[in-house]
Chains A and B, each alone.
Chain A
């Protein structure tokens, strides 16, 4: 009864089932305080809450029973990786303001970067030439993505829209192909699945799968209770993970439109998330200055990468091709390189004059590119 009157006026569009904490409900004006409900309803609510706590305890217990070995034990026999030293090979200059995001193309030589001077630049990283410089309608851009085919790039930010640009237009000009507008919050991250589908995460706590040809939402993945800050797609394109400001990361099945697993454990907003190269583990980076490794099949946290000397939050991360190294960019202008199996720091990339906002490893694993608020992109190897 409480819900039906409001649905007359406000259309709730969601064609997927979520994990229960339907964040959209919070944006409808439901009178939610317990004082409004009768005592019998109160009793029922208490019961449900107790059941929920009970189930959560059961899950933690089940996870413990499956934890019959830690990564330290399993990796004890592995040889130590020596000190890893990467040097700056190229510096890409051209942006006039903070760089917020970058993404490698699949050919490992082209990458796209977005900066708040309102430009999206596609770089040929070897020659440091700019292949395309695309002016944006809204300069408040927070994310960019390169399609696997290399034909499209996407960007979005505080305009709540994801704009798709066609790089291989007929007359050679780069034009807006679609503007995907339906989010009610800023666009924090977007990733292409193909030339026809794209997934976006937004500050309105939802992630959405769009059909680019028609410009409509195919599925809305609601369930986070805080702004969804980043997302990563699995190597086989069947799943994706999202990290949010409610300190959890969720694994979503794209096809079934469901949240399969939720991973907690962080103490602050999760800013960056990525899949381990074999697709069975997830790495998250958070404002509490730690990164965590979660395993999908064992459904638990395996390792935490932290160090007492690191006090700034992680803004971005990328695993190396073999998965042995984890590169994490921090607010203190450095990138830390971790040995993933031993949880030790094996290197630092220092070279930026301002916060490192984005990092990416090319698909052949050859080079890593970091972008920073000092408006430069550096290629390291």
Chain B
């Protein structure tokens, strides 16, 4: 019998940012002993245990050896995450570099406490959702809401208050950082014109967010590090192999010429274009499993190995040829590799194993003949199989087939026979 924990933690053990926040808390603890707290006099009263913004920022600048701007940003983050809270302007969660007052939050409330979710949390969540959806909850949510309302009635005021506060606070905490462009300001009101050329040095206390990216004068905004990376890319681009344009143009021309008769927009198709005559004989004749293919289809197979293999009927014919030559393992390996590439992730290890046993292991029943280096790499990769582990071997096998077997196929009696047998349907005469 297994004993489970009374409250399942519902994946609370995994929370993003915990690692960063832990490092951060070390800094906050140091800060607490480093920054001097004092009492502030305000009219008649005194406010105990406060620290001023500028003290905090001075301490951060000193400790991290950074600029004031960076320290301000860091301080603002501390406030946004709740480690320090402002005493005067608690609607605006920013750290100001002046004598505004802050206080350290007790560790009880730090985000890393990993509190387990309790019913009151769910009740607060439902109350927030109720506010947002203006009373239109899903039926199961409504049922839970009513149940919790009855069960936690004694805390209900607290729950509603928390819900409203959190609802409003979301937008304060999750505001985009200062001096950046928020997508919410685009649109008809166009507080920010995304195409403007503003320089990124706005005045410090302005509340208008300025845009930072525009298509026109990008060079001014590109950070320092990016130049190095761009230069690297351009250097690689120069070194990449290029083909003379006459060669590639010739290839383009050749392709267009070869396929000219196979383009239904340019040449009529037999027996008749189904779109024109509403007669779908063309499609029935060209189906996947048809016994006798049409002449045009067989002609297309001779254009390239890629075309032959993509047409499944052509692949079957190729298989027949290879069986006669007793060299079917190349195509079988290619097919198996394709299955591995596009298959589901769970089946990957089992598929890789079968492939290894059938094709790659020394003495395997269908051992493929690839060069030693590729074989070594592939076998090594199969220890940790992933989608593209057979890529190198597959390309090698494809090239072998293309350079050798494909041409022999085109000259073979199998192909000639299928060419003779192929249908040339009579054009319909309506």
Residues of A within 8 A of B (CB): 1-3, 5-6, 8-9, 11, 18-22, 25-37, 41, 44-45, 48-49, 51-52, 55-56, 58-59, 62-63, 66-71, 74-75, 78, 81, 84, 86, 89-90, 109, 126, 185, 193-197, 211, 213-214, 225-226, 235-236, 245-247, 255, 259-262, 276-278, 280-281, 295, 297-300, 302, 320-325, 340-341, 364-368, 379, 381
A-B contact pairs, 24 of them (CB 8 A): A8-B20, A20-B231, A26-B213, A29-B176, A33-B199, A34-B220, A62-B238, A70-B249, A75-B253, A81-B266, A89-B276, A126-B274, A194-B341, A211-B345, A213-B345, A225-B218, A246-B218, A295-B249, A298-B244, A321-B265, A325-B266, A365-B262, A366-B264, A381-B275
Q: Are A320 and B263 in contact (CB under 8 A)?
A: yes
- Among B178, B223, B251, B343, the residue within 8 A (CB) of A25 is B223
Q: Are B266 and A30 in contact (CB under 8 A)?
A: no
Q: Across the interface, which residues of A come within 8 angstroms of B77, CB to CB?
A: 8-9
Q: Across the interface, which residues of A come within 8 angstroms of B74, CB to CB?
A: 5
Shortest CB distance A84–B (Å): 6
Q: Across the interface, which residues of B come within 8 angstroms of A55, CB to CB?
A: 231, 234-235, 238
Is B98 positioned at the interface, with any CB of A under 8 Å from its CB? Answer: no
Answer whether A325 and B265 are a contact pair too, CB < 8 Å, given A22-B229, A45-B224, A298-B248: yes
Shortest CB distance A54–B (Å): 9
Q: Which residue of B lies closest to A81 (CB)?
A: B266
Residues of B within 8 A of A (CB): 16-17, 20, 23-24, 64, 66-67, 69-70, 73-74, 77, 81, 176-180, 183, 199-201, 212-213, 215, 218-235, 237-238, 240, 242-253, 255-260, 262-266, 269, 273-276, 280, 283, 286, 306, 341-346, 388, 391
Supplied contacts A31-B69, A33-B199, A366-B264, 6 more A-B pairs, CB within 8 Å: A8-B24, A29-B177, A213-B345, A278-B255, A280-B251, A381-B275
Q: Are A126 and B244 in contact (CB under 8 A)?
A: no
- Complex Cα spacing A6 to B199, Å: 22
- Complex Cα spacing A366 to B248, Å: 27
Shortest CB distance A321–B (Å): 5
Shortest CB distance A65–B (Å): 9
Q: Are A323 and B256 in contact (CB under 8 A)?
A: yes
Shortest CB distance B25–A (Å): 12
Q: Are B246 and A74 in contact (CB under 8 A)?
A: yes
- Complex Cα spacing A320 to B343, Å: 30
- Complex Cα spacing A21 to B215, Å: 13
- Complex Cα spacing A11 to B250, Å: 49
- Complex Cα spacing A225 to B91, Å: 35
Q: Across the interface, which residues of B come within 8 angstroms of A30, CB to CB?
A: 223
Answer whether A324 and B260 are a contact pair too, CB < 8 Å, given A37-B224, A295-B248, A299-B240: yes
Q: Are A196 and B342 in contact (CB under 8 A)?
A: yes
- Complex Cα spacing A55 to B23, Å: 42
Q: Are A225 and B215 in contact (CB under 8 A)?
A: yes
- Among A51, A71, A260, the residue within 8 A (CB) of B249 is A71
- Complex Cα spacing A368 to B66, Å: 61
- Among B245, B256, B258, B283, the residue within 8 A (CB) of A300 is B245
Q: Are A78 and B253 in contact (CB under 8 A)?
A: yes
Shortest CB distance A26–B (Å): 5
Q: Across the interface, which residues of B come within 8 angstroms of A35, CB to CB?
A: 201
Q: Which residue of A lies closest to B212 (CB)?
A: A26
Answer whether A29 and B242 are a contact pair too, CB < 8 Å, given A126-B280, A278-B255, A366-B274: no
Q: Across the interface, which residues of A come within 8 angstroms of B343, CB to CB?
A: 196
Q: Across the interface, which residues of B come within 8 angstroms of A84, CB to CB?
A: 265-266
Most buried by A among B73, B74, B229, B237: B237
Q: Across the interface, which residues of A come within 8 angstroms of B246, CB to CB?
A: 68-69, 74
Q: Are A32 and B276 in contact (CB under 8 A)?
A: no
Answer whether A213 and B344 are a contact pair too, CB < 8 Å, given A37-B224, A52-B234, A321-B264: yes
Shortest CB distance B202–A (Å): 9
Q: Across the interface, which residues of B come within 8 angstroms of A8, CB to CB?
A: 20, 23-24, 77
Q: Across the interface, which residues of B come within 8 angstroms of A71, CB to CB?
A: 249, 252
Q: Are A280 and B266 in contact (CB under 8 A)?
A: no
Q: Are B233 and A298 in contact (CB under 8 A)?
A: no
Q: Are A302 and B249 in contact (CB under 8 A)?
A: yes
Q: Are B245 and A298 in contact (CB under 8 A)?
A: yes
Q: Across the interface, which residues of B come within 8 angstroms of A381, CB to CB?
A: 264-265, 273, 275-276
Q: Across the interface, which residues of A come within 8 angstroms of B250, CB to CB?
A: 74
Shortest CB distance A103–B (Å): 19
- Complex Cα spacing A69 to B243, Å: 12
Q: Across the interface, which residues of B come within 8 angstroms of A126, CB to CB?
A: 274, 280
Q: Are B230 and A341 in contact (CB under 8 A)?
A: no
Q: Across the interface, which residues of A come within 8 angstroms of B180, CB to CB?
A: 27-29
8 closest Cβ contacts across the A-B interface? Answer: A20-B229, A322-B259, A20-B230, A322-B263, A55-B234, A48-B227, A74-B249, A29-B177
Q: Are B227 and A19 in contact (CB under 8 A)?
A: no
Q: Which residue of A lies closest to B67 (CB)?
A: A36
- Among A31, A299, A340, the residue within 8 A (CB) of B200 is A31
Q: Which residue of A lies closest to B341 (CB)?
A: A194
Q: Are B242 and A245 in contact (CB under 8 A)?
A: no
Q: Are B252 and A41 in contact (CB under 8 A)?
A: no
Shortest CB distance B348–A (Å): 10
- Among B229, B248, B263, the residue within 8 A (CB) of A365 is B263
Q: Are A59 and B266 in contact (CB under 8 A)?
A: no
Answer whether A66 and B222 are a contact pair too, CB < 8 Å, given A196-B345, A255-B391: no
Q: Are B275 and A5 in contact (CB under 8 A)?
A: no
Answer whether A56 and B259 are a contact pair too, CB < 8 Å, given A71-B249, A74-B249: no
Q: Are B219 and A341 in contact (CB under 8 A)?
A: no
Q: Across the interface, which residues of A come within 8 angstroms of B273, CB to CB?
A: 366, 381
- Complex Cα spacing A332 to B273, Å: 30
Q: Are B69 and A36 in contact (CB under 8 A)?
A: yes
Q: Are B231 and A52 in contact (CB under 8 A)?
A: yes
- Complex Cα spacing A211 to B387, Å: 11
Shortest CB distance A146–B (Å): 16
Q: Across the interface, which residues of B come within 8 angstroms of A89, CB to CB?
A: 275-276
Q: Are B70 and A5 in contact (CB under 8 A)?
A: yes
- Complex Cα spacing A323 to B255, Å: 8
Q: Which residue of A lies closest to B23 (CB)?
A: A8
Q: Which residue of B lies closest to A78 (CB)?
A: B253
Q: Which residue of A lies closest to B263 (CB)?
A: A322
Q: Are A214 and B345 in contact (CB under 8 A)?
A: yes
Answer whether A69 and B249 are a contact pair too, CB < 8 Å, given A20-B226, A247-B215, A321-B263: yes
Q: Across the interface, which residues of B come within 8 angstroms of A48, CB to CB?
A: 224, 227-228, 231
Q: Are B388 and A255 in contact (CB under 8 A)?
A: yes
Shortest CB distance B264–A (Å): 5
Most buried by B among A41, A58, A322, A366: A322
- Complex Cα spacing A238 to B319, Å: 25
